Amino acid sequence: MIGRLNHVAIAVPDLEAASAQYRDALGAKVGAPQDEPDHGVTVVFIELPNTKIELLYPLGEDSPIAGFLEKNPAGGIHHVCYEVEDIIAARDKLKEAGLRVLGNGEPKIGAHGKPVLFLHPKDMNGTLTELEQV
């Protein structure tokens, strides 16, 4: 069921500085910031040969990233994202296995324009896990 690693998301307190660090110091291809109001974040994708890094910055006062940065002012890894062929089939199988899907259990459209779901970190070894349909 699980596919390749799509991205690792890192919450950052300064999106411009983090983008510049990846671009200038590490020589990575850095995308433009994109607001994702449904998720309360502004994202920047860093393209790597084998995956992506997603920089997350709060968008609005109700952003879940704002709370994360309050607890982790320097930023840090927020979640990992794996690809799945069929997000509904994956959701149903995981729920049958006792894992909790966050929110109302229905996929939302993510930053790549594809359906996504998040699994509760307490059910995934302390790691917030995103599934994205390919």
Task: Select which of 54, 83, 130, 132 is catalytic.
Answer: 130
- Give residue for tokens 């959701």: 91
Can 130 be counted among the known catalytic residues?
yes
User: CA 102, CA 128: separation in Å to the nearest integer?
Assistant: 10
Judged by phi (left if over 0) then psi (alpha if -120 to 50, else beta), residue 26 lies in alpha
User: CA 124, CA 113: separation in Å to the nearest integer?
Assistant: 25
Which residues are known to be catalytic? 130
